Structure 1
Amino acid sequence: MLVVAYILETNEQQAKKRAKRRCRVRKIFSKRAQHGAFANLIGEMRLWDEDKYYNYFRMSSVQFDDLLHLVGPQLQKNDQFRTDMLSPAERLSITLRYLAIGDHMISMSYLHRVGKSTVSAVIKETCKELWLCLKDITLKFPSQNEWLAIAEDFEQQWHFPNCIGALDGKHVVITASPHSGSSFYNYKGSHSVGFLECLPWEKSFIKEK
């Protein structure tokens, strides 16, 4: 009985230590508001260098604000016990930068001064909300009359009748997941997912008018 009691007490102490470690915020992360990329680099580019801002996010500051206006309310997190919550703008900036260059999670973690697991969760959550907000705007399915109008444009512009779209594809390189085998392996010698697009004659996605 004494041995069992000792083991239980030891396990409880170890569990408390692990919980304490998990709750501790690293000092470099606690300085996010003062030294993180959003408060410094991104803010400076927004004020003084719009070209670099566009290069960083692949969109202008005006476009960023428009997107934030759409998705921001869904990204707002309310927790009265925490004062270090990421703002919707920070969440969007982390996600857009990741989508722009596909950087490593650990690099994003250091740049924005948040934990790697936080970066991963933010990107996943924000991408989901972006899809929900934009799918009916950016991926609108044409009506019958719109298909006919697209075919007419192809014939007028390219003298190509009965055509409703130009198809093209792109390999988006990814890191293969463990035990995936040859599932995502392509003939170029890398792992990727295929991105296929069908566009009207002017090569722009069909949008809600």
Structure 2
Amino acid sequence: MYESLLKEQLYGSAKQATRRWWVRPVLRKRETDGAFSKLVQYLEKEDPQWYFEYLRMTPTKFKELLAIVKSKIEKKHTNWKRPISAATRLALTIRHLATGESKRSLSYQYLIGRSTVTLIVAETTEAIWTSMKSQCLKPPTQSTFQTIADKFLRRWDFPN
């Protein structure tokens, strides 16, 4: 008897806590009330300057980047739930990368669960990297290193 009480104390009750809901009710309003559906789309149409301040890129650049990574970040529609759009995923990730805004804060703004925000940021940054690394990051060459060393020598009068 004491052994079973001790096990229950150490490992907790054998009963699992029941879920209150499958999806938090407020999160069901993402498509109509989330930051992407309300704020980002409004700023794109009405105030491009604030759009740029919010995402740190123009709507045109955002659409170009979306076209590049969309196939890698878009999820399939199932009978159980509607997927988060590729545009929402990209906007959320860009906002996080551009501002350093916390994932918890983004979760509240975009009406997406915290663990889902974490997954979206990881998947989308990986997609951006794999899609863009060949365009943005050129492999270093001997002449590139020599140019950098020469500039360093001229500026600091100290060889590298």
Amino acid at match of 2:29: K
| Root-mean-square deviation over aligned CA pairs | 2.4
Aligned to 2:137: 139
Equivalent in 97, 102, 127 of residue 104 of structure 1 = 102
Aligned to 1:178: none
C-alpha distance in structure 2 between counterparts of 1:54 and 1:78, whole Å: 30
Aligned to 2:79: 81
Q: Secondary structure at the match of 1:86?
A: coil
- Listed as ranges, the gaps of 5+ residues in structure 1 are 152-161, 168-209
Aligned to 1:60: 58
String of CA shifts for 1:26-77, please: whole Å, max 9, x gaps.
Answer: 1110111111001000010000100111111111000000000000000011
RCO (CA 8 Å, sep 6+): is it higher in 1 or 2?
2
C-alpha distance in structure 2 between counterparts of 1:72 and 1:133, whole Å: 10
Count of residues paired in the alignment: 141
More strand by share: 1
TM-score (norm 2): 0.78
Equivalence map 1:1-209=2 (5 Å): 11=14, 14-15=15-16, 17-18=17-18, 20-21=19-20, 24-141=22-139, 147=143, 163-164=147-148
TM-score (norm 1): 0.61
C-alpha distance in structure 2 between counterparts of 1:101 and 1:164, whole Å: 30
C-alpha distance in structure 1 between counterparts of 2:80 and 2:60, whole Å: 30
More helix by share: 2
- Listed as ranges, the gaps of 5+ residues in structure 2 are 153-160
